[in-house]
Amino acid sequence: MLPHPDPALAAALAADLRAAGYSSRGLREAWGETADDAIARGLRGPALRVLGERRDPLAVLARLLGLGVEQGRDLVDTALPATGSAGLAALGLADLDGRVVRAAALVRPQAFADAHGEGEWWIASDLDEAALGGPLPEDHVLGVGGASLTLAALQVGGPAATGLDVGTGCGIQALRMRRDVDRVVATDVSQRALRFTRLNALLNGVDGIETRHGSLFAPVRHERFDRIATNPPFVITPRVADVPAYEYRDGGREGDALVADVVRGAGEHLAPGGVAQLLGNWETRGGRDGLERVREWVDQSSIPLDAWVVERETLDPLAYAELWIRDGGTLPGTPAYARLVDAWLDDFAGREVTAIGFGYILLRRPADDRPTLSRFERVAGSGEGPLGAHVAAALAAHDRLQRTDDVGLAASGFVVSPDVTEARHHRPGEETPTIIELRQGGGFGRALSVDPALAAVVGASDGDLPLGALVDAVADLLDVDAAALRADVFPRIRELVFTGFLRFAD
């Protein structure tokens, strides 16, 4: 069991890491971009080859804490003058064996950027497959992976009083949330994960994070929060013997029931106006579309909720099984791999599952408990920039549009967002385009085909004239009825404002 982290030792370690230049940039410069990319794919060899026999503090810490490779005790004591190898062991991050220090966990720098600017955290977590040389133990506490980064970037910003991180793991979402939120509660079924969270808060000098033990919302019964973020253990896992049940990804439910429970239960823990965001998997089951099943979960909430659900990808049962079997460290071509594939396929077949969706779920409790947003969509692409700012802007746009009737819309001015471009496709020799496409560089990177009338309205939207005047001018230009064009264009303008192609000029 990881020990309770000692604040003084954690502060000493942070000082030592800072003095050694143990940062994302420092490591990239030490072993190069190629090795850095290889580490992200679980390959340590290129980095170790570049580091060679270097004995400076950065190289020693890179091998021990970054890659999980044992080092000499004298080297570690020199690299960590305030902490020492004994202090590292007391924090549960290393084991001492005579004159050798063996890594018991990883501590890796994690750069980030948000509305407050750029920064970096040190994140301690369990040894990965490369360091272990085999499959992960079932109580493994994951470091910062792709899903963690996705949810962190997806979080809406802005000040709030209270936040909740459900299934905190190493604590990355709690740290991200604390940048905007005064007080954060982080929960997990794993005591080991909670201790990593506390250690990571101490390493990075972050206060205001309270850890509580328990499943999902049980530790916060009867409490409400302005923000909820959760990267829950949503991986669909067969409930049969000999299939590893990793705590960090398997919530112990059948199929997608855990995500359903989170969606149904989140509203009870949201303050009026509060927002919950999570990642999840959902099954297309028995011919019923996965997104429709998520819609049903939202409808089953005891608290009426706004909902915006984005499905980013779908996998067939075999591809899904192979993805998560490899994630656990079992290699293709082995008898264990084939046995696990069969277990997953049998499990899916028993529920008539034909596809598994992955995506983002945003739930909001309206201040008056009367929902106005119900959006369930498939968006495969992704634009540049943080999605959190885009999501927050979309919610604000939705709220303003709800307050704006068509008379108000006609009187409003709009401007084209700076990331939007237009592409026109012509048949050779023809002047009139066959396809006009608007493309979004930020947000979800959407691409929309539009007709000449809407393209003309958008192209003229520079904020100088109100929408009604623009549509009337385009109707006159195209020799069509202005009232009919307004009826056709106004709903589509609302969609362009929500999705970020257009913005209110004021």
pLDDT per position as a tens digit, 224-263: 999 999 999 899 999 988 888 888 888 888 999 999 999 9
CA distance linking residue 211 with residue 193, whole number of Å: 10
Q: Is 93 helix (H, G, I), strand (E, B) or coil?
A: coil
Q: Is residue 323 part of a domain?
A: no
Look at residue 271 in the predicted model and tell me its pLDDT.
Answer: 98
Look at residue 223 in the predicted model and tell me its pLDDT.
Answer: 98
Burial of 367 (0-12, 13-18, 19+ CB in 10 A): exposed
CB 314 within 8 A of CB 333: no
CB 249 within 8 A of CB 276: no
List residues bridging with 420 in a β-sheet.
440
Q: Is residue 69 part of a domain?
A: yes
**pTM summary value:** 0.93
List residues bridging with 166 in a β-sheet.
187, 230
Q: Is residue 48 part of a domain?
A: yes
Split into its structural domains, the chain has a count of 2
Q: Is residue 204 part of a domain?
A: no
Q: Which of 59, 78, 104 is the last residue of a domain?
A: 104
Q: Which of 67, 83, 104 is the last residue of a domain?
A: 104
What DSSP designation does 55 have? Answer: -
Q: Is residue 153 part of a domain?
A: no
Q: Which of 63, 87, 104 is the last residue of a domain?
A: 104
Which residue carries 């794993």 as its tokens?
A: 190
CA distance linking residue 464 with residue 472, whole number of Å: 15
Q: Is residue 39 part of a domain?
A: yes
Tokens, residue 74: 């004298």
Look at residue 287 in the predicted model and tell me its pLDDT.
Answer: 94
Look at residue 250 in the predicted model and tell me its pLDDT.
Answer: 84
Domain residues for the domain of 95 are 7-104
Indicate which CATH number applies to the domain containing 471.
Answer: 3.90.930
Q: What is the dihedral of CA 373, 379, 382, 386, to 10 degrees?
A: 20
Which residues of the chain are modeled with pLDDT < 70?
none
Q: Is residue 471 part of a domain?
A: yes
Write out the DSSP string of 241-254: TTS---TTTB-S-S
Q: Is residue 391 part of a domain?
A: no
